[in-house]
Amino acid sequence: MRLCIDLGASNVKGALVEGGAVLKAAQVPTRHGMGRGGVVSSLTDAVEALLCPSVDCLCVASAGDIDEETGICTYATGNLEEFTGFDFPAYAREKFSLPCYAANDAYCALLGEMMFGAGRAYRNARVAMLTLGSGVGGAYWDGKKLVSSASRGEHKLGHLVLHEGGTPCNCGKNGCIEQYLSGRAINRLVRANGMESDSLFPRLNAGDETAKRVAEQVADDLALAAERVGKLFPFDVLMLGGGVAESIGAGLSLLASRAPRPLVLASLGNRAGVMGAYCLAEDKV
């Protein structure tokens, strides 16, 4: 049995997974304002909520740049405070006496979808994924396999520049995709138009005109983001995952009408990351 964790900027999601089936799940908020200690304590709480004697390894999908060979976070933005340099295998060994396998969260999300979710129908196609959550991540399936995030940087697709000289990003650049299509960015736009956070797609699906106008702006940004991604990683299908994608519903038709290639929604919801993390340990335990 594998204890699988999806460590994000807003929440730490966990699950006990055996034979590809989730047996138990847990979620805790990611603590902010406490530096690395806050992130690690959140991670520990999620693990301890699920730990049992039959667990044979810890599998982690994490925001940031993760070296898949060593399991070390080589770079993290302020979304995970002071987390650069964190060694997941050392943590798991010292804290829980478990082996550990770690990779970027968007990489794991697409891996989970290709093995267990919406991606199963597209295994012979080139699939680019954008995960729209607290930040924006990315991953790429080249038609045969998932391309290693450590080698080509697909997980940094959220930091491609969408609008030159645009909104400052916590990566140090201005105008990144993340500053327009993440859940936080969309909610800023929503509030600026007099709506409540997380209300855009529910109101769009109910026929609200203000929501339609805002959603059209989001759709235009998504279409432009797809063009930026496609120049680096040519794709046949664009898959959207993350918390934003879970709320889109009938709004998919509006977004798809502007997209340059077929647009599909991930199907595993908030379990995509943990299911991809589960796959990291294949043939290793």
How much is the pLDDT for 32?
87
At 184-195, the pLDDT tens digits run 999 999 999 999
At 124-141, the pLDDT tens digits run 999 999 999 888 989 999
Q: Are 263 and 132 in contact (CB under 8 A)?
A: no
Average pLDDT for 56-85: 92
Tell whether the torsion through CA atoms of 207, 208, 211 and 212 is positive or negative.
positive
Domain with CATH 3.30.420.40 in the chain: 2-107+272-280, 121-267
**Helix, strand or coil, per DSSP, at residue 139:** strand
CA trace torsion 218, 231, 133, 176 (10° rounding): -70
Average pLDDT for 2-16: 95
Report how far residue 4's alpha carbon sits from residue 117's, in angstroms, rounded to the nearest whole number.
17
How much is the pLDDT for 68?
87
Report how far residue 163's alpha carbon sits from residue 97's, in angstroms, rounded to the nearest whole number.
47
Helical spans, DSSP H, in 144-280:
149-152, 178-181, 183-192, 200-205, 209-232, 242-248, 252-258, 272-280
The angle at the Cα of 27, spanning 26 to 29, to the nearest 5 degrees, equals 160
Quickly name the fold that domain 121-267 has. Nucleotidyltransferase; domain 5 (3.30.420)
Q: Are 240 and 263 in contact (CB under 8 A)?
A: yes
How much is the pLDDT for 149?
57
Residue 209 confidence (pLDDT) above 80: yes
How much is the pLDDT for 155?
67
Residue 46 confidence (pLDDT) above 70: yes
At 75-93, the pLDDT tens digits run 888 889 999 999 999 999 9
How much is the pLDDT for 152?
56
At 140-185, the pLDDT tens digits run 999 999 887 555 566 688 999 999 999 999 888 999 999 999 999 9
Per-residue DSSP letter, 205: H
How would residue 247 be classed by pLDDT, with cut points 50, 70 and 90? confident
Structural tokens at position 224: 């432009």
Per-residue DSSP letter, 161: B
Smallest Cα–Cα separation from 11: which of 32, 26, 30, 35? 30
Domain 2-107+272-280 has CATH 3.30.420.40: yes
Smallest Cα–Cα separation from 3: which of 90, 86, 109, 102? 102
Smallest Cα–Cα separation from 69: which of 100, 31, 27? 100
How much is the pLDDT for 170?
84
